[in-house]
Amino acid sequence: METAPQKLEMFYEGKAKKLYATSDPDLVICYFKDDATAFNAKKRGTIEDKGVINNRMSELFFRLLEGQGVKTHFVRRLNEREMLCKRLEIIPVETVVRNIVAGSMAKRLGLEEGRELPSPVVEYYYKSDPLDDPLIYPEHAIMFGWASAGEIEAIRSLALNVNDILRRFLDERGIILVDFKLEFGRHHGEVLLGDEICPDTCRFWDKASRRKLDKDRFRRDLGDVEEAYQEMLRRVES
């Protein structure tokens, strides 16, 4: 078994994860927490074993994407809650791909949730907690130096490719990929997919019943949150 680099000091703690430096400056250890937040951390709680589930599901999705030629920060899962990843210089632009109207799109545009879009919509948000991650144009990212024009183009292409791969995979398991958030970063000048892919960052609906199997159950006090996360893991690992 390959030896993991030595775990050093924690250098970042976010709403869902902690990041630790390692004895290899190119690698970090990501620790997945059970903490749950919504509405930019205005609502807080805990989802039992969320970190374990998100770690395993992210590993599965990253391996799937890597197998289809999408380069990610994933190296390997170390244990139940920790993942070894390539160290990224995070591009402060969150990318959201939408296949069905839901969440902020429904609210912002006064549309009924559940309406299928004729083609995927890619949105960009400035990654800033104090500003509640505002919606931006790609030109803003280029103008303010958050990303180059080439990086924005690469991010859009990668996001749509990820959407195609995940939609096909999930459809075969009776799951609708409604929308999802991606984060990207630079690793030795190359743009890689980072962060995580799990019920925290995606909207998953059961294809037959349209039952929500993601963090909306926590956001909207729908109950059965843990059960939904566990069901999603069972479905994707099947």
The CATH number assigned to the domain holding 79 equals 3.30.200.20
d(Cα 173, Cα 158) in Å, to the nearest integer?
23
Say if 126 falls within a structural domain. yes
- 118-128 residue pLDDT tens: 999 999 999 99
pLDDT of residue 214 exceeding 90: yes
Mean pLDDT computed over every residue of the chain: 96
- Residue 162 belongs to domain spanning: 90-224
pLDDT of residue 94 exceeding 70: yes
d(Cα 231, Cα 24) in Å, to the nearest integer?
36
d(Cα 11, Cα 21) in Å, to the nearest integer?
7
User: What pTM did the predictor assign?
Assistant: 0.95
Among candidate residues 36, 68, 88, the one where a domain is terminated: 88
* Contact call for residues 72 and 183 (beta carbons, < 8 A): no
Do residues 21 and 139 share a domain?
no
pLDDT of residue 2 exceeding 90: no
Q: Which residues contact 113 (CB under 8 A, 6 or more apart)?
A: 101, 102, 103, 106
Identify the sign of the CA torsion 29, 35, 38, 41.
negative
Tokens of 14: 């976010």
Do residues 135 and 210 share a domain?
yes
Mean pLDDT check: name the lowest of 27-41, 79-93, 152-166: 27-41
Map residue 174 onto helix, strand or coil: coil
Say if 235 falls within a structural domain. no
Exposure string for 43-79, b = 16+ CB within 10 A, e = fewer: eeeebebbbbbbbbbbbbbbebbeeeebebbbbebee
Mean pLDDT check: name the lowest of 41-45, 92-96, 184-188, 227-231: 41-45
Mean pLDDT of 144-170: 98
Report the pLDDT value the prediction gives residue 42, as an integer from 0 to 100.
74
Report the pLDDT value the prediction gives residue 39, as an integer from 0 to 100.
78
Do residues 46 and 147 share a domain?
no
d(Cα 225, Cα 47) in Å, to the nearest integer?
7
Do residues 139 and 179 share a domain?
yes
Residue among 15, 217, 155 at smallest CA distance from 227? 217
Please state, in angstroms and as integers, the Cα–Cα distance from residue 61 to each residue in 117, 120, 151, 168, 170, following that order.
24, 20, 23, 12, 10
Do residues 103 and 203 share a domain?
yes
Report the pLDDT value the prediction gives residue 24, as an integer from 0 to 100.
97
Angle between helices 50-67 and 225-237 (to 10 degrees): 30
Number of H-type helices and E-type strands within the chain: 6, 15
Q: Rounded to 5 degrees, what angle do the CA atoms 58, 59, 63 make? A: 115
d(Cα 22, Cα 66) in Å, to the nearest integer?
23
Do residues 136 and 74 share a domain?
no
Mean pLDDT of 150-159: 98
Q: Within 10 A of 131 (CB to CB), how many other CB atoms are there?
A: 10
pLDDT of residue 1 exceeding 70: no
- Total number of domains constituting the chain: 2
**Residue 30 φ/ψ region, left for φ over 0, alpha for ψ in the -120 to 50 degree band, beta for the rest:** beta
Report the pLDDT value the prediction gives residue 43, as an integer from 0 to 100.
82
Tokens of 217: 């159950």
Say if 1 falls within a structural domain. no
Element (H, E) at 227: helix 225-237
Among candidate residues 42, 72, 88, the one where a domain is terminated: 88
Mean pLDDT of 182-193: 98
pLDDT of residue 110 exceeding 80: yes
Do residues 197 and 150 share a domain?
yes
